[in-house]
Amino acid sequence: MGPKFSISEVCSTSWQRTKTQIWVLAGLLIGMTIISFTLSAFAMPMQKSIVGTIVINLISCIISCIFALGYMKNIFQALDGEEPQFSAYGQQARKIITYFVANLFMGIIVVFGICLFIIPGIYLALRLQFFTAFIVEEDTGIIESLKRSWEITRGQGMPLFMLMLAMIGIFILGLILLGIGIFVAMPLIYMMYGYVFRKLNAPLQIIEEL
């Protein structure tokens, strides 16, 4: 099966969508960064005890999950030509457990693959990476989200690997630009992820509707 997307197309289209909402998308990332640093600062006294450490890690995990789901929804809103809404975070909050467990399952699978000479781990990560998008976009369950990601990425291993390299390159470029560029690079990377997901999932959606 041939590639269903080209890196140049993904980059150009994703950048067009990103720059129209860059202030909102970058602002949300900056806000999340501030919250994380603030939480870490206030948590330092509590981390002297085991219970305090557990509580802080739990709170941090919940905030991270809500942000990951809500931000992904914002990306899809931007792709649809809509302004990202802060209400997305409240709407996606109910999916925290599904996202956390699916993320845990994927992590275990990928780590197992990495133990098998690294390359299998990278391959598995590429094939299963769209579970988050399915949870956000189609409200799928834990196993179904991983299964659907595996289905839509069949035969797309090399294009997805090249996409991963492009994303890493963009991330490094963002770091080089005094670190501030990361708040432009990350929204673009997320947008590329969302765009490719829509691209790969579109044929299956058409078949299901028929």
Q: Per-10-residue mean pLDDT for the chain, 210 residues long?
A: 86 95 95 87 70 81 95 96 93 95 94 87 96 97 97 95 96 86 95 97 53
Number of Cβ within 10 Å of residue 187's Cβ equals 29
How remote is the C-alpha of 144 from its chain's centroid? 17
Q: Is position 210 within any domain?
A: no
Positive or negative CA dihedral for 41, 46, 49, 52?
negative
Instruction: Tokens for 64, please give them.
Output: 């991270």
SS3 at position 15: helix
Please give the single-letter amino acid code of residue 126.
L
pLDDT (0 to 100) of residue 207: 36
206 lies in a domain? Answer: no
Contacts of 108 (CB under 8 A, 6+ apart): none
pLDDT of residue 36: 85
**Nearest-angstrom CA–CA distance, 1 and 63:** 39
Q: Considering the entire predicted model, what is its pTM? A: 0.90
Position 208 in a domain: no
Rounded Cα distance between 185 and 175, Å, is 9
pLDDT of residue 41: 76
Neighbour count for residue 72 (Cβ, 10 Å) = 22
Number of domains in the chain: 1
Query: In whole angstroms, what is the distance from residue 60 CA to residue 24 CA?
Result: 23
Q: Is residue 48 part of a domain?
A: yes
Tokens of 96: 């925290």
CA distance 186 to 170: 8
Give the whole-angstrom CA distance, residue 100 versus residue 179: 29
pLDDT of residue 206: 40
In a domain, 209, yes or no: no
Residues in the chain: 210
Other Cβ atoms within 10 Å of 210 Cβ, number: 5
Range of the domain at 166: 5-201
The answer to whether residues 154 and 203 touch, using CB atoms and an 8 Å cutoff, is: no
